[in-house]
Amino acid sequence: MPRYNPAAIEPKWQKYWDENRTFVTPRLPQGKKMYVLDMFPYPSGDGLHVGHPEGYTATDIVCRYHRMKGTSVMHPMGWDAFGLPAEQHAKKTGTAPRITTEQNIANFRRQLKMLGFSYDWDRELATTDVDYFRWTQFIFLVLYDTWFDPEQGRGRPIDELPLPKQIELKEDLVREYRDDHRLAYQLEAPVNWCPALGTVLANEEVIGGVSERGGHPVVRIPLRQWMLRITAYADRLEKDLDQLDWSESIKSLQRNWIGRSEGADVDFFIDDETTDDGRPSRERFTDWTSDRDEAGFPTKPGPDVLRVYTTRPDTLFGATYMVIAPEHPFVRRLTQPDQAKAVDTYCEQAARKSDLDRTDLAKNKTGVFTGSYAINPVNGEAIPIWVADYVLISYGTGAIMAVPAHDTRDFEFAQTFDIPIVAVVDPGKSTEVDRNEVLAGRQCSVEDGTAINSGIYDGLITADFKKTITTDLHKRGLGRKAVNYKLRDWLFSRQHFWGEPFPILHELDAAGKPTGRLRTVPADELPVDLPKDMKFDAAHDSPEPPLDKAPEDWLYVTLDGKRYKRETNSMPQWAGSCWYYLRFLDPKNDQALVDPEIEKAWMPVDLYVGGAEHAVLHLLYARFWHKVLHDRGYVSMDEPFQKLVNQGMILGEMEFTGYQDADGRWTSAAQVANAADNGQIDKRSGRPVVPVRVEPEAVEKQGESFVLVADPSIKIDSRAYKMSKSRGNVVNPDEVVSGFGADSLRLYEMFMGPLEAVKPWSMDGVSGVHGFLNRVWRMIVDERADELQLNEAIEDVEPDVDQNRMLHKTIHAVTQDLDQMAFNTAIARMMEFTNFFLKQDARPKSAMEKLVLMLSPFAPHMAEELWQLLGHDKTLAFEPWPAHDEAALREDAIEVPVQINGRLRAKIQVATDADAKTLLAAAKANERIAELLEGKTMVKEIVVPGRMVNFVVK
RNA sequence: GCGAGAGUGGCGGAAUUGGCAGACGCGCUGGAUUUAGGAUCCAGUGGGCAACACCCAUGCGGGUUCAAAUCCCGCCUCUCGCACCA
């Protein structure tokens, strides 16, 4: 088989690596270590997608490269295998989720092996393995057993939680107090229950009050849930980003999500007793302030105040009303009888809306007046308290002071309800707003500026004002500096079968009702496996988890004479992926989640590659767990992923789209607008049009855009779309491998462009790199012979100077590119090498060997085959990476551009090390330059040795 | 609206950080070989031009500099994320 035949050599070498256990990693690294991790896939029924091999090829190249540089490399692979699709499949077909999952894993494993990745398959694991989720459950117990000590800034065992004196000896109170501090706690939280689908939906699956799939009504009902107190770690999760080698854009996504803000908590006096006009009395307010003056600012607000959080304490004098969220506990209390009906109706409506609906209706502010007033602590003025759903109960204190002059939302609200607008910040000269309009209260300005209408604070600039007033409020016991986060606690339970069961038992009383007392399943009795034989209903009629219908012998447990019911919620898919990188290090350990010695030797993950879709949640959750495990002494470092790279999405092939109406008449793409019914119309005629795929031949570029060749007045859209089944532009790796081979697929995915960029697929591009591999093959192999043998141009001779220079230039460039993960340019370098040596009649064997070694991380199958042909009897996986020789790079002469007034006019040949003087002389001696300089006045001569010469003349 | 990133030939993309714009690949054009080509080889290929002279050209408009894709200012467009977070 003298022709390059990937279908034969790829399986051959895959078998070789398997049988020789080439990539099995030792327990502990020997010498320098490198832990390279891929985000493990969810093994869907559709199989691998060309997006998967992109990141996997990149990490495989890095691993193979570093092995050749003598590093101990850890490179495992596994499966994020819990998830809803297998459960839905079970409901439809009756096939148990475990069966479906195993089939899908087998398919994924086959596809990954087909691509020749150098994973240590002995470490393979799935989050659904009972031996694995035993430790996921164990970590849950750690979370349950931990409270966050804000003073030390770390998680500590719950029995170290200091107890307030008054509860010390009361068992039930102690229990409650502890439960209130655990990192894992229970909460009644609303879920989206869809009776028609018989399932609980995630927020993003509910659109406009109905399910995304099928459009069935969804109701929000409260359900007991498990929560994880990730907010306790918000500060560390944000700060520690600084020490990580992640792209700024991912860090900023995380920072954004955590959403730290600094401001102040401020108490506004409210009172059940009011004067005739319905406002709190002056005297009682004065008494309150003097009380506060003595007692200071209380940690928890009492019933006599409405506490707000603000990032703009400098605008306190401009607060003309207050707003509390419809769910605020004071709503009822503050509502005056004549407002009761309006407030009730409003709150009821708000309760029915999902968070999403509330924000969708952002355009118009709604709200109702409660009839009550609060007193602004800085100026003693009584201001009305409203209820409005633009204030969220889940952020800050669920109540705000509204400063319409300097907050756009408050401004809109105040305009709608005709509430006074008082400017307290003079924006000065501003490009954003009209200063006079702002001062008159007709325009809103959120900019910093100078304080006005603010009593003794007038004249202060915003930043100083904030500091000063926060200190003053604190002194008078009216407020305090505060920090808030957008990050919410993590809703950690799902009403699904196919997830990790919680190791939690609920105590039952004699009547079989829960007493509210919990008991954990002891760590040494884990795992809690899922019940084996469970029937699945296509839908069930209650939002309770499916495990509620588990067989009784699973569901009920009797311990120490007490009866318990198992927790029937299951953990979310995130749970298993939160710590898999630790288990890979020690996957068979049945004594610990990971042996500390091994953990210390291999962690942290030196390179983590995956899609940007996990930029926020997965990475945040995993970092959170890692920090808890660190605080509790299970792992040595407090960040798991040192370097993170996100591969860009691979889009479908470029498409040209034109628009036609029902009669087949074209409409220019520039004229197309979205119609109300999701369709598209011609803006001018109003006729509906439909997108039509246009062949590339029918299109040409004209100026900035593409137009129809047949009618250049018709503009055509050109873009690549995300691959999707519905668009029919999905590329299947199996297809590419059978057409071109795995090496071509790998090479193409790396050659497309920078790893992190979003890029469109092109089958022609695959055939392009396939052609390159063919040329490499022909450069080394005698294609005309019947037997596999070396090309007769391969000779056992020293390279000549030019050949040697090309060789070492290539080594130098490829090595540098690999260090920077610039795979596309590394491949280009090897193409140049190949183009050069194909023209050489004598190809030194040593040079060919070095190319094969450099190519091996990219196209390992072909490289192994050629390496063998070049006379080696074992794998090249551990051959030393070629080193370049600086001396070989030297050129005798170089070409230097000569410019006149910055324009290229000639190129001269000079010695490589020519100094400025020589260079200048050579430039002036050039015929063309001399001619052009004739009769001109020299203003300046710029000479950069080895680079260029520029004459500035008049 | 806020945040991040990006705009370079027909297409994907290079450009050692201010120093010859367009490496490498695709596509296209011409030629060679071939029964044939979606195989292989050779040559060409940013635009204008008879021209290898010259002019224009890195989203647009200014600026700094001997010199700008690269630095500064102001716009425009696209992609992604967040979205009433007080």
Q: Which of A439, A463, A483 is the last residue of a domain?
A: A483
A455 and A579: one domain? no
Largest CA distance in chain A: 112
pLDDT-based confidence at residue A678 (cuts at 50, 70, 90): low
Please list the alpha-helical segments (H only) found in A240-307. 248-258, 282-295
pLDDT-based confidence at residue A147 (cuts at 50, 70, 90): very high
For A679-710, write each residue's pLDDT tens digit.
788 877 888 888 888 888 888 887 778 888 88
What pLDDT was estimated at residue A25? Answer: 96
Q: Is the CB of A312 under 7 A from strand B?
A: yes
Asked if the structure places residue A408 within a domain, the reply is: yes
User: For residue A315, what is the domain's CATH number?
Assistant: 3.90.740.10
pLDDT-based confidence at residue A258 (cuts at 50, 70, 90): very high
CB A292 within 8 A of CB A428: no
Residue with CA nearest to B28's C1' atom: A697
A325 and A439: one domain? yes
Residue with CA nearest to B79's C1' atom: A758
Residue A177 pLDDT > 60: yes
Bridge partners, A219 (sequence order): A193
Q: Is the CB of A748 under 7 A from strand B?
A: no
> Span A497-502, mean pLDDT?
94
Chain A window 711-730, residues with Cβ within 7 A of nucleic strand B = 722
Residue A361 pLDDT > 60: no
Mean predicted lDDT score pLDDT of chain A: 90
Q: Is the CB of A942 under 7 A from strand B?
A: yes
Asked if the structure places residue A470 within a domain, the reply is: yes
Q: Interface pTM (ipTM) of the complex? A: 0.94
CA of A113 to C1' of B42 (A): 40
CA of A775 to C1' of B37 (A): 18
Question: Which structural domain, as residue segments, surrounds residue A902?
Answer: 891-953
For A775-823, write each residue's pLDDT tens digit.
999 999 988 787 888 888 899 999 999 999 999 999 999 999 999 999 9
Lookup: tokens for A809: 């230039």
SS3 A19: helix
Q: Is the CB of A769 under 7 A from strand B?
A: yes
A275 and A382: one domain? yes
What pLDDT was estimated at residue A540? Answer: 62
Residue A130 pLDDT > 90: yes
CA of A741 to C1' of B32 (A): 30
Asked if the structure places residue A296 within a domain, the reply is: yes
More confident residue, A358 or A476: A476
To the nearest 10 degrees (0 to 180), the angle between helices A130-144 and A617-631 is: 70
Q: How far apart are CA A267 and CA A479, in angstroms?
A: 6
Asked if the structure places residue A252 within a domain, the reply is: no
CA of A55 to C1' of B40 (A): 34
CA of A75 to C1' of B23 (A): 33
Q: Is the CB of A594 under 7 A from strand B?
A: no
CB A194 within 8 A of CB A347: no
CA of A488 to C1' of B2 (A): 20
What pLDDT was estimated at residue A358? Answer: 62
CA of A656 to C1' of B13 (A): 20
Q: Is the CB of A686 under 7 A from strand B?
A: no
Q: Whose C1' is closest to the CA of A3: which nucleotide?
A: B39
What pLDDT was estimated at residue A698? Answer: 83
A838 and A932: one domain? no
Question: What is the total residue count of chain A?
Answer: 954
Asked if the structure places residue A729 within a domain, the reply is: no
**Averaging pLDDT over each range in A18-22, A345-349, A408-412, which range is the top one?**
A18-22
Residue A674 pLDDT > 80: no
Asked if the structure places residue A908 within a domain, the reply is: yes
What pLDDT was estimated at residue A909? Answer: 85
What pLDDT was estimated at residue A954? Answer: 79
Q: Is the CB of A4 under 7 A from strand B?
A: no
More confident residue, A470 or A214: A470
CB A603 within 8 A of CB A636: yes
Q: Provide the percentage of residues in chain A whose pLDDT is more than 70.
A: 96
Which region among A27-41, A190-204, A375-389 has the lowest average model confidence (pLDDT)?
A190-204
Residue A232 pLDDT > 80: yes
> Span A401-411, mean pLDDT?
94
Q: Which of A626, A647, A668 is the last residue of a domain?
A: A647
CB A114 within 8 A of CB A73: no
> Span A497-518, mean pLDDT?
93
Q: Provide the percentage of residues in chain A whose pLDDT is more than 90.
A: 63
What pLDDT was estimated at residue A362? Answer: 54
Q: Is the CB of A901 under 7 A from strand B?
A: yes
Chain A window 491-530, residues with Cβ within 7 A of nucleic strand B = none
From residue A268, how far is each of A283, A453, A921 by CA, in Å?
15, 19, 83
What pLDDT was estimated at residue A196? Answer: 74
Residue A122 pLDDT > 90: yes
What pLDDT was estimated at residue A363? Answer: 63
Q: Whose C1' is closest to the CA of A259: which nucleotide?
A: B85
Residue with CA nearest to B84's C1' atom: A390
A288 and A362: one domain? yes
Q: Is the CB of A904 under 7 A from strand B?
A: yes
Q: Which of A820, A645, A646, A642 is nearest to A244 (CA)?
A: A642
What pLDDT was estimated at residue A781? Answer: 92
SS3 string, A612-655, reads HHHCCHHHHHHHHHHHHHHHCCCCCCCCCECEEEEECCEEEEEE
10 Å Cβ neighbour count for A675?
13
What pLDDT was estimated at residue A676? Answer: 66
A383 and A469: one domain? yes
A767 and A884: one domain? yes
A347 and A387: one domain? yes
> Span A882-887, mean pLDDT?
92
Q: How far apart are CA A503 and CA A526, in angstroms?
A: 8
Q: Is the CB of A940 under 7 A from strand B?
A: yes
Q: Which nucleotides of B are covered by protein (CB under 7 A)?
A: 3-5, 10-15, 19-21, 23-27, 38-42, 54-55, 66-68, 79-86
CA of A54 to C1' of B32 (A): 39
> Span A299-319, mean pLDDT?
94
User: For residue A849, what is the domain's CATH number?
Assistant: 1.10.730.10
Number of separate domains in chain A? 5
For A72-106, write each residue's pLDDT tens digit.
999 999 999 998 889 888 888 888 999 999 999 99
Q: Which of A731, A730, A745, A776 is nearest to A7 (CA)?
A: A745
Q: Which of A225, A237, A228 is nearest to A183 (CA)?
A: A228
A660 and A690: one domain? yes
10 Å Cβ neighbour count for A885?
14
User: For residue A603, what is the domain's CATH number?
Assistant: 3.40.50.620
CA of A701 to C1' of B47 (A): 13
How many CA within 13 A on the CB side of residue A647?
Answer: 27
For A561-607, write each residue's pLDDT tens digit.
899 999 999 999 999 999 999 999 999 999 999 999 999 999 999 99
What pLDDT was estimated at residue A340? Answer: 93
> Span A135-160, mean pLDDT?
96
What pLDDT was estimated at residue A563? Answer: 94
Q: Whose C1' is closest to the CA of A252: which nucleotide?
A: B4
Residue with CA nearest to B5's C1' atom: A249
Residue A356 pLDDT > 60: no
Q: How far apart are CA A516 and CA A509, in angstroms?
A: 10
Q: Which of A421, A448, A483 is the last residue of a domain?
A: A483
Q: Is the CB of A28 under 7 A from strand B?
A: no
Q: Is the CB of A54 under 7 A from strand B?
A: no
Q: Is the CB of A392 under 7 A from strand B?
A: yes
Contacts 24+ apart (CB under 8 A), A156-163: A156/A631, A157/A632, A158/A182
User: For residue A940, what is the domain's CATH number?
Assistant: 3.10.20.590
The set of residues, in sequence order, having a beta carbon less than 8 Å from that of A580 and lying 6+ positions away, is A40, A78, A80, A125, A127, A132
A634 and A672: one domain? no
CA of A740 to C1' of B35 (A): 27
Chain A window 101-160, residues with Cβ within 7 A of nucleic strand B = none
CA of A755 to C1' of B40 (A): 32
> Span A255-282, mean pLDDT?
89
Under DSSP, the state recorded for A182 is B
Q: Whose C1' is closest to the CA of A355: which nucleotide?
A: B84
What single-letter amino acid sits at A29?
Answer: P
Q: Identify the helix (H) or strand (E) that includes residue A801.
A: helix A801-819
Asked if the structure places residue A917 within a domain, the reply is: yes
Lookup: tokens for A109: 């494993």
A88 and A24: one domain? yes
Asked if the structure places residue A251 within a domain, the reply is: no
> Span A252-270, mean pLDDT?
93
- Dihedral (C-alpha) A341, A346, A348, A354: value to the nearest 10 degrees? 180
A819 and A852: one domain? yes
Chain A window 429-468, residues with Cβ within 7 A of nucleic strand B = none
Q: How far apart are CA A815 and CA A888, in angstroms?
A: 16
CA of A904 to C1' of B50 (A): 23
Residue A344 pLDDT > 80: yes
Q: Whose C1' is closest to the CA of A739: which nucleotide?
A: B38
